[in-house]
Chain A
Amino acid sequence: MFSFCTDPASLEGVKWLSCYLTTVKHMSMYYAVGTVLLLLSITAPTALAFGFAGASAARSQIAPLRWIGKTYIALVRGIPDIAFFLFFVIALDQAFEYIRHRIKCPDWEEPVRQGNDFIVCTAAKLPLGNAPQWVHETYGFMLAVLTFAIVFGAFAANVLFGAMRAVPKGQLETAEAYGMSRRQTFWRVLVPQMWVFALPGLSNLWMVLIKATPLLFLLGVEDIVYWARELGGAKQPQFTEYPHPDWRMWYFAALLVFYLCFTKVSEFALDRIMAKLTHGQATAAGEAQRKAAA
């Protein structure tokens, strides 16, 4: 990075550190921060959408839809995260490949499962075997987003399901009395009012989601915790220009600061959202807000 970094062994102190912290390998770690933030920013709305769909399904009038919603919530909430991340992603990947295999190679005769191997025709591979590395990485990233969204969606569904029930019955009955249809009542009265009940639960989920990102490495996406462990481990002079003893403590301390700052910012933002949602609501906090303003 810097011009004086050509011979790290001769450097000392701050100069050495500035070279050390700007190696290409360290850049990968800074890049991973971006990966994690990107993952969160895509996963959170997707999980919320899954949750909304799940909750709506679970309180549906149509029985099969209700069963699907309830099963989804119960099943995903009940399975340990780590089992889900280890098993489900490989299964999901294979399911995609199997479907493509049936469509693209209808006259393939060999079985897809041969002993331990899972073999689909070349055209059905996802991504294609000869695709460049970034395609593989993006695909892995998308699988990660989908898996996170399904897992956190189930929790969000439960939160939203509860929130929908917490909206005072009088509000819904009034809507009905005004002649609104079920659909109108749902979208115009129930949904705008439920968020204030859902937010405490959802904010919990958001905090858990922030801290769950190290699970990414199980999916082959290199996140900040992976890099902290990799960079912090003791390095012998044979294998690097910057040998050092076990520095994982310092790397993890940096992660600690990062995560604490991140949660602090999140809390601040969530408080603002909560204040906004409370405005004009028939809750104790909404009432307090009204009185304070008056």
Chain B
Amino acid sequence: MKNLYLTTAALAVAGSMAFADAHSVVRLGTEGAYPPYNFLNDDGEVDGFEREVGDELCARAELTCEWVTNEWDSIIPNLVSGNYDVIIAGMSITDERDEVIDFSEAYTQPDPSAYLALSADVDLAGGVVAAQTGTIQAAFVASTGATLLEFATPDETVAAVKAGEADAVLADKSFLQPIADSDGEVMLLDQEELIGGGVGLGVRESDGELRDALSAAIASMKADGSLNVLIEKWGVGATF
């Protein structure tokens, strides 16, 4: 019996050592084009809400982390093939994505999606609505009567509205708010859509230990209120 305990203990130690070995550096993959969640600052470094959250999570989980940028389109395929270990890119937790990858605990509240348009009297039901490819907003627009116009980057969706190519753009409100604030030409519509279930970290399905470590770190940030401070600082929806 004693032997069994020893073996179990040894296995547990070996297991966590294998974990530490495989994750001596955890690579965080982000898009770098979705302020305030993630963007490249003037120094060309990843910055924003997720930069601060990610660095703090890594510190709490005692992980050495490295930031890499990847195009949104191929962000999931590159995770599952092992080019980086975590997706931290304002990715809402959805059932569809959950079939392919695993999600940590959510680190934002569900952020309502808003419409940005040139005028308030846009026909959302029958008009042309822009959204970024592969987002919950694109899936939502496709399910309504509106014509969906997809773009590879968030920036292009806004540019399409300003160019008159689309009547409105549907995206996370926290992304559109700063644009509406600083640009007199466009405005947020009153209508909002409650889609998505909060933003989580994406990890490979086989990477359970990493997911648990990160989820625990998120829980501890929620518990001591430091996550709320960052949410308020960057304006990414309601606090916990």
Q: Is the CB of A243 within 8 A of B182?
A: yes
Q: Is the CB of B27 within 8 A of A129?
A: yes
Q: Is the CB of B159 within 8 A of A248?
A: yes
Given contact pairs A230-B33, A236-B178, a sample of 13 additional A-B residue pairs in the complex whose CB atoms are under 8 Å apart: A24-B43, A25-B40, A25-B41, A116-B205, A118-B80, A122-B21, A129-B27, A218-B74, A233-B155, A239-B35, A239-B47, A240-B42, A246-B162
Of B5-13, B64-72, B128-136, B212-220, the stretch lying at the interface with chain A is B64-72
Q: Is the CB of A129 within 8 A of B25?
A: yes
Supply 7 A–B pairs (Cβ within 8 Å), ascending by A: A25-B41, A114-B205, A117-B82, A122-B22, A129-B23, A237-B182, A246-B162
Query: A81 contacts the other chain (Cβ, under 8 Å)?
Result: no
Interface residue from B41, B69, B83, B179 paired with A236 (Cβ < 8 Å):
B179
Enumerate chain B interface residues (CB-CB to A < 8 A): 18, 21-25, 27, 32-33, 35-36, 39-44, 47-48, 64, 66, 68-71, 74, 77-78, 80-83, 85, 100-101, 153, 155, 158-159, 162, 178-179, 181-183, 204-206
Task: Report A-chain residues with C-beta under 8 Å of the C-beta of B47.
Answer: 239
Nearest A residue to B159, CB-CB: A246
Annotate A233-268 by CB proximity to B: 1 below 8 A, 0 otherwise: 110111111110110100000000000000000000
A82 vs B102: C-alpha distance when bound (angstroms): 28
Task: Report B-chain residues with C-beta under 8 Å of the C-beta of A93.
Answer: 81, 83
A236 vs B159: C-alpha distance when bound (angstroms): 14
Expressed in whole angstroms, the minimum distance between the Cβ of B188 and any Cβ of chain A is 14
A69 vs B101: C-alpha distance when bound (angstroms): 40
A90 vs B43: C-alpha distance when bound (angstroms): 30
Q: Is the CB of A28 within 8 A of B159?
A: no
Q: Is the CB of A117 within 8 A of B204?
A: yes
A130 vs B48: C-alpha distance when bound (angstroms): 25
Q: Is the CB of A234 within 8 A of B183?
A: yes
Q: Is the CB of B204 within 8 A of A234?
A: no
Task: Report B-chain residues with C-beta under 8 Å of the C-beta of A120.
Answer: 82
Query: A281 contacts the other chain (Cβ, under 8 Å)?
Result: no
Nearest A residue to B64, CB-CB: A130
Task: Report B-chain residues with C-beta under 8 Å of the C-beta of A142.
Answer: none
Q: Is the CB of A239 within 8 A of B36?
A: yes
Q: Is the CB of B22 within 8 A of A116?
A: no
Interface residue from A86, A130, A230, A234 paired with B159 (Cβ < 8 Å):
A234
Q: Is the CB of B44 within 8 A of A234?
A: no
Q: Is the CB of B182 within 8 A of A236?
A: yes
Interface residue from B24, B68, B205, B206 paired with A136 (Cβ < 8 Å):
B68
Task: Report B-chain residues with C-beta under 8 Å of the C-beta of A179.
Answer: none
